[in-house]
Structure 1
Amino acid sequence: MKPQPSPSGRALEAAQAALAAEHAAAYGYGVIGARTGGDRATQAREAYGAHLARRDALARTVRELGGSPRPAEAAYALPFEVRGQEDAERLAAGIEDRVAGAYSDLVRAAEGPLRREAADALGAAAVRAARWRGGGVAFPGLTERAERPA
């Protein structure tokens, strides 16, 4: 039988995963920003800034939990080729869905103020995803529930 990680170990693991999601989001928004214009470009810049702020906060959290923050990758593989604004909007919604999923895991693993911060981040990602997509999903951050037919 494999031993279960301690509650603080689960929180550290989930915080590292959320940090990785934020690194990837920042990279993705660089691509998105280059392929959007007007109000969407402004929205992309705001989201990029929000992800950088969350990334920095998570790096501090990881250190507070006794870990060493994992660095960003040099580059990230995109799920599809981003040729124009429509692709960029679809990528942004997908990024926010993945970020929401990472924060959903952190909500489950954390306690106290960290759980509250993770819930706030999950909500912010869900709102951004809905804006990019033009509508929300039933259970943001919980892909296994959101993808089930009604």
Structure 2
Amino acid sequence: MTSPSPDQATDSLQQALAAEHAAIWAYGLAGAFLPPASDPALAKGSEAHTARRDATITLVKKAGATPKSAEPGYSTPQPLTNQSSAFVLLVSAEADAAAAWRSVLEHTTDPALRKTALDALTDAAVRAMTWRQTAGQTPSTPPLPGQP
């Protein structure tokens, strides 16, 4: 088995950063379609992704790369028209973040970076499960979060 290269780890971090940018955008957009009772969970999720984005920017810079910027907008898994589609967007954003952080795990042997990636994957999987449960989706979590 070949050890991952530093470039692979940096590329994976860049993908995780892109997923964090997209999640922040998704939380802002979904909030327009959810009832006020969802505001605390939306704020908590957005704050978590913002903190993770900022920490990831620092990691990318430490790796000697220029962090990817946020896009002006992102695609949604379906047209966003109501509460149900807003839940689908949030679950999708969390699933994408989990998959991106799983990729970081696969592309580094650095213990600190692996812990960061595992924590991020776990956090995204838990938030996705919470949004699925709130929306009444089943199953509430896939067998292996972060898998395609």
TM beyond 0.5: yes
Cα displacement (A) at 1:74: 1.1
Mapping 1:73-88, distance limit 5 Å = 73-88=71-86
Q: Is the 8 A contact 2:77 2:88 kept in 1?
A: no
The residue matched to 1:74 in structure 2 has which SS? coil
Residue type of the partner of 1:71? Answer: S
Tell me which moved more, 105-114 or 115-124. 105-114
- Cross-structure match for 2:49: 51
> What is the CA distance between 1:100 and its match in structure 2?
0.3
Q: Once superposed, what is the RMSD of the aligned Cα atoms?
A: 1.5
TM-score (norm 2): 0.89
> How far did residue 6 of structure 1 move?
5.8
User: d(CA) in 2 for partners of 1:88 and 1:69?
Assistant: 28
Aligned match of 1:138:
143
Q: Which moved more, 1:27-36 or 1:53-62?
A: 27-36
Contact kept in structure 2, 1:21 and 1:99, CA below 8 Å:
yes
Which has the higher mean CA deviation after the structures are superposed, 122-131 or 107-116? 107-116
Q: 2:137 matched to which residue of 1?
A: none
Alignment check: 8 A CA contact 2:102 2:121 kept: yes
Kindly state the Cα deviation for residue 41 of structure 1 after the two structures are TM-superposed: 2.3
2:127 alignment partner in structure 1: 128
Partner of residue 29, structure 1? 27
Query: Alpha-carbon deviation of 1:112?
Result: 1.2
The one-character-per-residue Cα deviations of 1:17-36 (angstroms, maximum 9, x if unpaired) are 00000111111111111111
Query: What's the CA shift string for 1:73-113, capped at 9, x where partnerless?
Result: 11112221111111111111111011100000001112210
Whether the aligned pair in 1 keeps the contact of 2:10 and 2:60 (CA below 8 Å) is: yes
Name the counterpart of 2:88: 90
**1:16 corresponds to:** 14
CA distance in 1, matches of 2:3, 2:77: 32
Which of 76, 92, 109 aligns to 2:107? It is: 109
Q: How many residues align?
A: 140
**2:136 aligns to what?**
none
Q: Which fold has the larger relative contact order, with Cα–Cα distance below 8 Å and residues 6 or more apart in sequence? A: 2
Q: TM-score, normalised by structure 1?
A: 0.88
Q: Which runs of 5+ in 2 are unaligned?
A: 134-139
Using the TM superposition, give the Cα deviation of residue 5 of structure 1 relative to its aligned residue in structure 2, in angstroms: 9.7
Instruction: Give the Å deviation of 1:39.
Output: 3.2
| 2:59 matched residue in structure 1 | 61
Equivalent residues of 1:33, 1:45 under 8 A apart: no
